[in-house]
Amino acid sequence: MAQVQVLSPDGSVQKVDRDSQEALQALRQTTALLAKAALKQEFPGIRLGEDNATDDGFFIDSDKDDAQVSADQLEDLEAAIKKFAKDDAKIELATVPLDEALAQASDDQFSNELIKAAAKDGQVAIYKVGDVVAVANAAVLTYADAIKNFKLLSVAGAYWQGMSSNPMLQRIYGTVFFKKDALEEDLKRRQEAKERDHRVIGNDLDLFFVDPKVGAGLPYWMPKGATIRRTIERYIIDKEVANGYKHVYTPVLMNLDVYKTSGHWQHYREDMFPPMDMGDGEQLELRPMNCPSHIQIFNHHIRSYRELPLRIAELGMMHRYEKSGSLSGLQRVREMTLNDGHTFVAPNQILDEFKSILKLMIEVYHDFDINDYTFRLSYRDPKNTEKYFDDDEMWNNAQTMLKQAMDDMGLEYYEAEGEAAFYGPKLDVQTKTALGNDETLSTIQLDFMLPKQFDLKYVGEDGQEHRPIMIHRGLVSTMERFTAYLTEMYKGAFPTWLSPEQVKLIPVKDDVHGEYADKLRNEFAAAGIRASVDHRNEKMGYKIREAQTKKVPYTLVVGENEVNENKVTVRKYGETEQITKTKAEFLDQILADLATYSRED
RNA sequence: GCUGAUUUAGCUCAGUUGGCAGAGCACUUCACUAGUAAUGAAGGGGUCACAGGUUCGAAUCCUGUAAUCAGCACCA
């Protein structure tokens, strides 16, 4: 097997398999390094920030006095990198005194800071290529001539050291492979990811739109998108009601005082729409979360321990003033409807309730055939007392309990600081969008804080008042995000039960067979199936094509043979095989499909 | 919000040096009556994102605003 030589920052050199992950990472790191050298050569005086290999490529940050590096300069940069590689540019590793390294980086403030941060005992390991000096923070290839099959993909802004209070540098993203085939495959994969994008499919299939003229981040659901949403909503409400949840409806507007009590106004104000001043001293607020609303439901009666766990649920519409740059199709919007639920429990019920929520969530995921996700325990950032309620004991207690529950259930997870809600830690279920961005789909959150803020009580077995704990949970996220996620996962080819159009009937000759098609449609509709007849004055091939491009699960052609024998000719989406069967046989087939959520098992 | 790019018909996009606003798809009408991925013809459709400016003349050049996209930051 082919091998490559890899040089580590500690000075060791070893041979590794060219097909290994280690070699690929070194290749990415090396390409980033050459890109830095190319930048320095092409744009004298440019300042260079981080260079990093990532899971699917590499990036380099830079900053210039005049215009930043732009996308149309990437080709020239590629050529410059190729030249470095072709000349087999030597990457030198040296461990030098800090002041010497700083002197070599001259007046580049970003390189200087990186070098200072990397220094140990006054010494720092640096790589040198061309005129560039960069901190040696990862292994590179000893020979740069392996860098042939690469592409600089895009430019984008990125804050220096990831902090929005810092200046913004220009980040160049790229991808690189040892083999040409691998690069081409990677570029193809990136292209396909774009075709999976829910915004593209949403437009093609006419599911939804967002019109900036009537409001950014405020989506309109077209009939087909609305059908998908309605199906999800009916499914999840039925599922929750069957699992002991009490579904309610509560207003989207609420007196601002309530959000002052809850702490939203203090900790979440930036993400809230400004209050509406009603002129008589009353201020109304569009709710950014449903928890205070469900607390009102809890508080409406004196509660007994016998009622706990009390599970209040709602498809609650909320408004959040998301920053303009973060809006994205249905994934990030300013008006959203959350599959929300709040369980009020006694302290000794937390663990069981947490487990039962998780169990329900896994069941729901199974029905939607969602398998690609990871668990994240999201804790507060203890240093950030602005954002999170300042109560060490509460946080430590809640975070320990959450971790304990996950360990008890033997589930794998990772921990992330600074990802909690302002009122408590949470278990997040993380998925990836088509374009590879991480997002939270489901969440279960422990909350000791809001019950205290609202002075919630239940009467215990001992006749005394006790404080409940709230568990916030969203199983299928918001209707917006979940629909976006499913659209990408299924690539628009929704399973029959979710598909907005389940059956398309095509008469061979409309004036002869159209009536039979209508009759079938009505029978299917009576059986709860979404079917329609294509009566248009078009050739069959045209209608078949459209049924396929619109990803209708079942296309039924009816002509003379079918009318005479009360049959249908069935073509499933994505298949070319045509099967003629009786109407009853087809009904059995599609009803079985619906009953199993189109899953194989 | 920030960096960069973009914004032309319902959708996807052309539009040269500043000189009459374009195509494909979709839509409407007509003809064709069709057996599994596009029948043919004709027609309608535009405040060239918005507001200013330069110019005899602006889709095109300049300034500002908004939105969209890639990403960062933030987040369901």
CATH code, domain with A486: 3.30.930.10
Residue nearest to nucleotide B50 (CA to C1'): A213
Confidence of residue A60 (pLDDT cuts 50, 70, 90): very high
Same domain for A532 and A395: no
Same domain for A451 and A349: yes
Residue A98 placed within a domain: yes
Where would I find the beta strands (DSSP E) of A437-522? 438-447, 458-459, 465-466, 469-478, 503-507
Q: Was A291 annotated as part of a binding site?
A: yes
Same domain for A502 and A448: no
Check residue A567 and give its pLDDT. Answer: 96
A1-40: burial string, b at 16+ Cβ within 10 Å, e else: eeebebbebeeeeeebeeeeeebbbbbbbbbbbbbbbbbb
Spanning CA of A425 to C1' of B1, the rounded length in angstroms is 26
Check residue A433 and give its pLDDT. Answer: 84
Residue A283 placed within a domain: no
Q: Was A342 annotated as part of a binding site?
A: yes
- For residue A309, say if its preceding peptide bond is cis, omega within 30 degrees of 0: yes
CA nearest to A435, candidates A329, A546, A358: A329
Q: Was A513 annotated as part of a binding site?
A: no
Same domain for A535 and A552: yes
pLDDT in tens, A152-171: 999 999 999 999 999 999 99
Residue A261 placed within a domain: no
Nearest nucleotide over every DNA/RNA strand to the A160 CA, judged by C1'? B72
Q: Which nucleotides of B are covered by protein (CB under 7 A)?
A: 1-5, 11-12, 30-39, 66-76
Query: ipTM of this model?
Result: 0.94
- CA A518 to chain centroid, in Å, comes to 42
Show the domain range for A385: 233-252+291-490
Taking the C-alpha atoms of residue A168 and residue A156, their distance in angstroms, rounded to an integer, is 10
Same domain for A484 and A513: no
- CA A505 to chain centroid, in Å, comes to 36
Q: Which among A121-125, A175-179, A385-389 has the top mean pLDDT?
A: A175-179
Check residue A65 and give its pLDDT. Answer: 82
Taking the C-alpha atoms of residue A162 and residue A569, their distance in angstroms, rounded to an integer, is 59
Nearest nucleotide over every DNA/RNA strand to the A323 CA, judged by C1'? B1
Instruction: Report how many domains make up chain A.
Output: 3
pLDDT in tens, A106-128: 788 899 999 999 888 889 999 99
Residue A404 placed within a domain: yes
Check residue A286 and give its pLDDT. Answer: 95
CATH number at residue A169: 3.30.980.10
Spanning CA of A515 to C1' of B32, the rounded length in angstroms is 21
